Amino acid sequence: MKTYQTDQIRNIILLGNSGSGKTTFAESMLFNGGVIDRRGSVDSKNTVSDYNLIEHENENSIYSTVLYSEFKGKKINIIDTPGLDDFVGGVISSLNPIEAGLMMVSAHNGVEVGTEIHFRHSEDANKALIFVVNGLDHEKSNFDKAVEVMKERFGNNVVLAQYPVEEGAKFDSIIDVITMKMYKFPSGEGKPQVLDIPDTQKERAEELHNELVEKAAENDEALMELFFENETLTEAEMRKGIKLGLVQRGIFPVFCASGKNNIGVSRVMEFIINAVPAPNEVPAVKNADEKEIKCDASGPVSLFVFKTSVEEHIGEVNYFKVISGSISEGVDLVNTTTLNKERISQIYVSAGKKREKVSNMMAGDIGATVKLKSTKTNHTLNTARQNWTYKGIKFPDPKYRTAIKTLSEGDEEKLGEVLSRLHEEDPTIIIEYSKELKQIIIHGQGEYHLNILKWHLDNVYKVETEFITPKIPYRETITKVSQADYRHKKQSGGAGQFGEVHMVIEPYFENLPDPKQYKVNGKEIKVNVRNKGEHDLPWGGKLIFYNCIVGGSIDARFLPAILKGIMEKMEEGPLTGSYARDIRVAVYDGKMHPVDSNEISFKLAGRNAFSIAFKQAEPKIMEPIYEVEILVPSDRMGDVMSDLQGRRGVVLGMSSEKGFEKISAKVPLAEMNKYSTALSSLTNGRAMYNMKFSEYTQVPGDLQEELLKAYEAEQNEE
């Protein structure tokens, strides 16, 4: 393969709902560019993109796949992405290195939930977008309806660049209102005939051409002046306006195609070459210091790794974009995260699992390399003494959690290694080793997402596991003032153990003044605060520890031991073994023995006094509450609201947003188990949501009783 210069490179992503034909369309793009000599099909399980066994079994894209095509002297880098929201990580990471997206819209299904989700992601990434109404040969194709909904959902920047002469089985001709020509495609493979527009279509074509010209002119003042002066634009001027409009997301041109029959695909590729901006024609990438890094082949070498995969017989494959400079085999770079030196011994261009070795690569290009020591997704590689680091790809928060355990105790270490590898390959899989819950918790984007992970454990890594219900990280606290004292005394022949501690505990609140006296069970206890320790707890909340000892009843050297005993009990709360939080403790009296008192004695005395006081202070169990934001079609609003109420959800507000109703609510984590599956079922997959931790609040009384009984039964079993 020849070395392509920056201005000869186009980087695009294929977006769209599952089943919209992205993989099939990519197959035709590769065929048209001569990368493959025969087009595969999803049904035959022989496409370049979906080449993993799990993708064959599920008949869906699970991973993003890096591809390329060479067309008319240009190189088009293509990333095919999964359409299911469970695998959104592949979409988010793939939006990073590209300049434009092709949004596939099914000609018979129209705008689907995946279309809308991917549109939002492209909007967040501020990437140019081109719509392709795909599958116009389908018997139930409805181009006009699809376009109508696209304009309704995505605004007036959706504008026709093409329309079909006929749909369904007779679909073979497209009117192109940019070139003002008709493209008639032969049955089977072959280049289209470029014909004059038939008289029957001229009026509509002229009308749409004028709309497109006006839309193109809106993106540049000079072009707008030309448009007012001449009432039209030349094709070159229109192309310039479209390119500017794409960069600004001021225009979303609509094209027609059948990826399956390779109709219209070559014309889309021509448009990509002519109108999609090259990597150096978009705003420069900013590094973490907000410095703009020009996409310039003569600049310092700098790469950003946007994807890491693990391939059988190869190991880790790192996919990167050359942000600046040009790289060649054997170049030494420095990883700005690990500070390790990495040698790029081999450079590849990828078409699925087929990789072609190249000797060098210019700024703006996308490539792959292998056998790096410690480079992962989101890492930057620079020439020595170059300290650029790029902002990492921000992946969405997880929405689904489950606990996992091995069926064989001997596999635990292997499971940890495999889970770590799977996280590196898919950063939306989060692994949590919870000391508190004594479980390994896996967080992901949905039930299907984690079922695919388990398939890999079972079939690829041969680690037998099972998913179990994850425990909830409850917290314990108190609601009133309580006093307790405890004497620890132990005599066993030699030196004994003795320590006595008197303390008062109370709930902690922000800005609470330091105590001077307490009234507990009708008895007044005056305290004189000698010093105060404020401890932020690792699990959230605070412990305030007051030394109120007067007269030397307890030596100051034993205070840390008392605090340690209290902390031990807070790590395993008296009610359910959950962490305790937000408590003030005042140690105001006690006794020592001149010989038998030691640190262990006061640690145990402090621990037991705290436990007694805690149980007398009307303790409460607190549960984690999450903020949940749901985007739902208006016709399913009632079902979703009813379901939230059944989950003890509190609705905070409702609003409309781009064709959806947005519900904001607070819901206990305990009620969110398998919510992604339930929501999909309620809305036929048309709703989407995100969730993030908000706060801890007290559980209802009846639920607290259930939790106490369950913990007691668990302790009895042990």
pLDDT, tens only, 322-365: 999 999 999 999 999 999 999 999 999 999 889 999 999 999 99
Rounded CA-CA distance 401/443 in Å is 4
**The residue to which tokens 């390779």 are assigned:** 262
> Considering the domain boundaries, does residue 364 fall inside one?
yes
Q: How many domains does the chain have?
A: 5
| pLDDT per position as a tens digit, 42-66 | 888 899 998 888 888 888 899 999 9
CA–CA distance from 80 to each of 23, 48, 114, 180, 492 (Å)?
7, 10, 14, 30, 74
- Which residues, 6 or more positions from 234, have their beta carbon under 8 angstroms from its beta carbon? none
> Considering the domain boundaries, does residue 104 fall inside one?
yes
- Note whether 411 and 355 are same-domain residues: no
What region does 473 belong to: left with phi over 0, alpha with psi -120 to 50, or beta? beta
Contact (Cβ atoms closer than 8 angstroms) between residue 141 and residue 107: yes
| φ, ψ dihedrals at 388, nearest 5° | -70, 135
What DSSP character marks residue 2?
Answer: P
| pLDDT per position as a tens digit, 119-142 | 999 999 999 999 999 999 999 999
- Note whether 606 and 696 are same-domain residues: no
Mean pLDDT over each residue of the chain, to the nearest integer: 92
DSSP string, 70-134: EETTEEEEEEE---SGGGHHHHHHHHSS-SEEEEEEETTTBS-HHHHHHHHHHHHHT-EEEEEEE
pLDDT grade, residue 659 (50/70/90)?
Answer: low
- Note whether 670 and 565 are same-domain residues: no
Q: Which structure tokens are listed for 64? A: 């993003």
Rounded CA-CA distance 13/78 in Å is 6
Residue 522 has pLDDT above 90, yes or no: no
**The residue to which tokens 């197959």 are assigned:** 27
Residue 639 has pLDDT above 90, yes or no: yes
**What secondary structure, in 3-state letters, does 387-409 show?**
CCCECCCCCCCCCEEEEEEECCH
The pLDDT of residue 386 is 87
Question: Which spans in 575-700 are helix H?
Answer: 599-616, 637-646, 675-683
Q: Which structure tokens are listed for 165? A: 């002469």
Q: Which structure tokens are listed for 202? A: 């001229």
- Note whether 522 and 448 are same-domain residues: no
Q: For residue 463, which of 425, 515, 406, 421 has the smallest C-alpha distance?
A: 406
Q: For residue 121, which of 29, 10, 17, 23 has the smallest C-alpha distance?
A: 17
Q: Which amino acid is at 573?
A: G
**Where does residue 10 rank: exposed (0-12), middle (13-18), buried (19+ CB within 10 A)?**
buried
Rounded CA-CA distance 450/398 in Å is 11
| pLDDT per position as a tens digit, 392-414 | 999 999 989 999 999 998 899 99
Mean pLDDT of 180-190: 87
Among the candidates 456, 471, 486, a domain finishes at 471
pLDDT grade, residue 384 (50/70/90)?
Answer: confident
What region does 48 belong to: left with phi over 0, alpha with psi -120 to 50, or beta? alpha
pLDDT grade, residue 313 (50/70/90)?
Answer: confident
CA atoms lying within 13 Å on the CB side of residue 178? 25
What DSSP character marks residue 544?
Answer: E
> Considering the domain boundaries, does residue 506 fall inside one?
yes
CA–CA distance from 512 to each of 200, 420, 516, 583 (Å)?
82, 44, 12, 12
Q: How many CB atoms lie within 10 A of CB 539?
A: 14
Residue 230 has pLDDT above 80, yes or no: no
**Strand, coil or helix: what is 656?**
strand
Q: Residue 372 sits in which domain range?
A: 292-382
Q: Which structure tokens are listed for 158? A: 């959706």
Rounded CA-CA distance 112/135 in Å is 14
The pLDDT of residue 658 is 64
**The residue to which tokens 């700024």 are assigned:** 363
CA–CA distance from 184 to each of 24, 165, 172, 558, 591 (Å)?
20, 10, 6, 91, 99
| pLDDT per position as a tens digit, 71-94 | 999 999 999 999 998 999 999 999
Among the candidates 264, 283, 302, a domain finishes at 283
- Note whether 504 and 642 are same-domain residues: no
pLDDT grade, residue 493 (50/70/90)?
Answer: low
- Which residues, 6 or more positions from 275, have their beta carbon under 8 angstroms from its beta carbon? 239, 242, 243, 246, 253
Q: Which structure tokens are listed for 409? A: 């105790």
Report the CATH number that the domain containing residue 455 is assigned in CATH. Answer: 3.30.70.870
Secondary structure element (H or E) that encloses residue 497, with its range: strand 497-507
Q: Which structure tokens are listed for 648? A: 């003890």
CA–CA distance from 92 to each of 11, 250, 367, 510 (Å)?
15, 22, 18, 40
Report the CATH number that the domain containing residue 632 is assigned in CATH. Answer: 3.30.70.240
- Note whether 512 and 637 are same-domain residues: no
- Which residues, 6 or more positions from 567, have their beta carbon under 8 angstroms from its beta carbon? 535, 543
- Note whether 49 and 148 are same-domain residues: yes
- Note whether 101 and 117 are same-domain residues: yes
Q: Which structure tokens are listed for 122? A: 């492209």
| pLDDT per position as a tens digit, 441-458 | 999 999 999 999 999 999
Higher pLDDT, 654 or 220: 654
**The residue to which tokens 């401890």 are assigned:** 535
Q: Which amino acid is at 293?
A: I
CA atoms lying within 13 Å on the CB side of residue 169? 0
- Note whether 338 and 313 are same-domain residues: yes
| φ, ψ dihedrals at 678, nearest 5° | -65, -40
> Considering the domain boundaries, does residue 240 fall inside one?
no
**The residue to which tokens 């450079």 are assigned:** 347
Residue 718 has pLDDT above 70, yes or no: no
Among the candidates 333, 355, 382, a domain finishes at 382
- Note whether 567 and 538 are same-domain residues: yes
Q: For residue 687, which of 112, 24, 74 has the smallest C-alpha distance?
A: 112
Report the CATH number that the domain containing residue 53 is assigned in CATH. Answer: 3.40.50.300
What DSSP character marks residue 626?
Answer: E
Rounded CA-CA distance 78/67 in Å is 5
Rounded CA-CA distance 165/255 in Å is 13
- Note whether 164 and 190 are same-domain residues: yes
* Among 37-41, 225-229, 366-370, the least confident range: 225-229
Higher pLDDT, 628 or 238: 628
> Considering the domain boundaries, does residue 23 fall inside one?
yes
Sign of CA dihedral 291, 297, 300, 304: positive
- Note whether 611 and 626 are same-domain residues: no
DSSP string, 437-491: TTEEEEEES-HHHHHHHHHHHHHTS---EEEEPPPP--EEE-SS-EEEEEEEEE-
> Considering the domain boundaries, does residue 390 fall inside one?
no
Residue 312 has pLDDT above 80, yes or no: no
Q: In the chain, what percentage of residues exceed pLDDT 90?
A: 77
Q: How many CB atoms lie within 10 A of CB 635?
A: 10
Q: In the chain, what percentage of residues exceed pLDDT 70?
A: 99
> Considering the domain boundaries, does residue 178 fall inside one?
yes
Q: What angle do CA 115, 120, 126 make, to 5 degrees?
A: 125
CA–CA distance from 307 to each of 169, 176, 369, 436 (Å)?
40, 36, 11, 33
> Considering the domain boundaries, does residue 366 fall inside one?
yes
State the pairing for strand pair 162-164/173-176: antiparallel
